[in-house]
Amino acid sequence: MDVGVQLYTVRDAMDKDPMGTLAKVAKIGYNQIETAGYSAGKVYGFEGKEIRKILGDLDLQFISGHIPLSDFRDNFDRVLDFMNEAGQQYAVLPWLQEDQRVSIDQYKGYAELLNINAEKAKSSGKVVCYHNHDFEFWNVDGEIPMQVLLNETDPELVKFELDLYWVHKADQNAATIFKENQGRFPLWHVKDMADTKERGFVEVGTGTIDYKAMFELKKESGMKYFFVEQDQSDDPMKSIETSYKNLTEDILYKV
């Protein structure tokens, strides 16, 4: 199974030396990437054609990218132009600021926005997704935002990137989510949880999440790609190397 990485994990290195950092990522063994540096029609300062060549030279596939809400709202045509040039398949809405998630009506608006942009993306073979944290599982105005997003988006067009760490942090059951929404989760974020009171981020295979059990659910979920991510680490490059080793030598090998 191919192994992807979300470059947010090595964001500081990408800011300082994107080409060198990508070379290190490829050397570890990753062959698929998801970006988190899109801005004004570029990613990490590169035009679509530029990043396509850089990644191609390193045998890295550009699967997915996180796109800010402002670009989903105001500049999605430019996002699609970039994706076509770069060879990027998925556009993911990754995060909502605190003031962007105070009412359930806001979430209903995001569902409508996702539907509209997913219809636009369909003509060029691109896919729109929503990425969760834990707050989508908190009660807002008597409803659960994640359920609203799932119910009010077109299941044939709008997909989800399920972050398995945040699902567990919210004390939710991933297996139940997959069973009730089969095929809607082509993308996963794979990160592990420390066995501490704070339940912080640790390398995959060193925490409390049973990833062998998670990967056995990949067919039911609809998973096509997954990305290792670790939001915080003292040594991000070492962390993604450890996660890659644990995945390829143990977790995936035994699934």
114-135, pLDDT tens digit by residue?
999 999 999 999 999 999 999 9
pLDDT surpasses 80 at 208? yes
131-188, pLDDT tens digit by residue?
999 999 999 999 999 999 999 999 999 999 999 999 999 999 999 999 999 999 999 9
Mean pLDDT of the chain: 97
- Between CA 81 and CA 59 the distance in angstroms is 22
pLDDT at 144: 98
pLDDT at 191: 97
1-57, pLDDT tens digit by residue?
799 999 999 999 999 999 999 999 999 999 999 999 999 999 999 999 999 999 999
pLDDT at 255: 60
pLDDT at 1: 78
Provide the percentage of residues in the chain whose pLDDT is more than 70. 99
pLDDT surpasses 80 at 199? yes
Domain boundaries, the chain: 4-251
Q: 3-state class of 223 per DSSP?
A: coil
pLDDT at 254: 67
pLDDT at 175: 97
Q: What fold does the segment set 4-251 form as a domain?
A: TIM Barrel (3.20.20)
Average pLDDT over residues 199-218: 97
